[in-house]
Amino acid sequence: MGKKIAVLTGGGDCPGINPVIRGIVRRAIKQGYLVIGIKNGWKGLIEKNTVPLDLNSVSGILPKGGTILGTSRTNPYKEEADLKRAKANFKSLGIDALIAIGGEDTLGVAHRLYKDGFNLVGIPKTIDNDLSATDRTFGFDTAVNIATEAIDRLHTTAESHHRVMVVEVMGRHSGWIGLEAGIAGGADVILLPEFPSDIDEVCSLIKKRHGRGKTFSIVVAAEGAKFKKGREVLQQEKLDAFGHVRLGGIGQILGEEIEKRTGFETRVTVLGHIQRGGSPTAYDRVLGTRYGVKAVELAIEGKFGQMASLQGNEITSVALEKAVGTLKTVPEELYNIAKIFFG
């Protein structure tokens, strides 16, 4: 009785985080634990910015997108002074266990803190679905549904104006959103980071389709997609706290090249953060809830250095070290299925 569990959310927000927080608070309180939220990710631990979480705090947040705790891309290991403050605050707050909700960067910090002797448990969060130690991350299903709906809507305007529509979706190093939304939305070409594309081949597929009497085409491109004779397209060269550049712009380049090479009028839509926002799907609400409950159980059992993980239909756990070791990318087998429908 009286033990304290803390929770933070780091990195990009996504639909389903609040159901996770709700699951954590409900499960922990039933076991007699106190729960505090750390505001704005690792930045909040550095600044000792916390808020108590009780049943009233999480009432009504199940369908709410984003995160009630706020988030940031702060890396406490970047500056020695920040790391010292974070570790000192962890101790002074009397935290018995900290549950970190995040992707590879946030969980990478959690793993390092665990190695430094702190009690950490992780929960996988990314709309990219690119964490290798879990079959599914919450937020992904919502993002795919949002992207699919957008593609469906673009179909009607593309057909009306006899245009090629290029849709840029999120996906830095893995193209899961582009793959699944592209297949579900009936895209005529899908470009992913895992498989560098040939612009001539893309244009040839579009010409082939139009040669069959079709007057419009839909091209889906992940933001991290690249051409065989080129590098990733960047919004800016500046690195964030975890050493990442900001990707984006592939859609515009692709649109210009398609119009120039085919003569077909082309328009570009960048979905961007629309994919992150709004209410989570039922699937993500349930998955997030299950992750939150499992994380508390891991903390109660003293199974630190672990991450809640979906394996098949079962929520189990894996070592954080394994969770952040490699990214889960789209296998060629699945991409070959998508290519059946190209052109």
CA distance 186 to 173: 23
pLDDT score of 188: 97
Is residue 209 located within the same domain as residue 171?
Answer: yes
Asked if residue 247 belongs to a domain, the reply is yes
Compute φ and ψ for 105, nearest 5 degrees: -75, -50
pLDDT score of 325: 79
**What pLDDT, in 10s, does the model give residues 170-184?**
998 999 999 999 999
CA distance 188 to 210: 11
**What pLDDT, in 10s, does the model give residues 140-155?**
999 999 999 999 999 9
Asked if residue 35 belongs to a domain, the reply is yes
Q: How confident is the model at residue 156 (pLDDT cuts 50, 70, 90)?
A: very high
Is residue 48 located within the same domain as residue 153?
Answer: no
Helix (H, G, I), strand (E, B) or coil at 222: strand
Q: Which residues are catalytic?
A: 128
Question: Containing domain of residue 292, as a range?
Answer: 4-138+280-323
The answer, yes or no, to whether residue 192 has pLDDT greater than 60, is: yes
How many separate domains does the chain show?
2
Asked if residue 335 belongs to a domain, the reply is no
Contact 207, 226 (CB under 8 A): no
Asked if residue 294 belongs to a domain, the reply is yes
Cα–Cα–Cα angle for 195, 206, 184, rounded to 5 degrees: 65
CA distance 81 to 276: 32
Q: Position 295: which residue type?
A: A
Is residue 197 located within the same domain as residue 302?
Answer: no
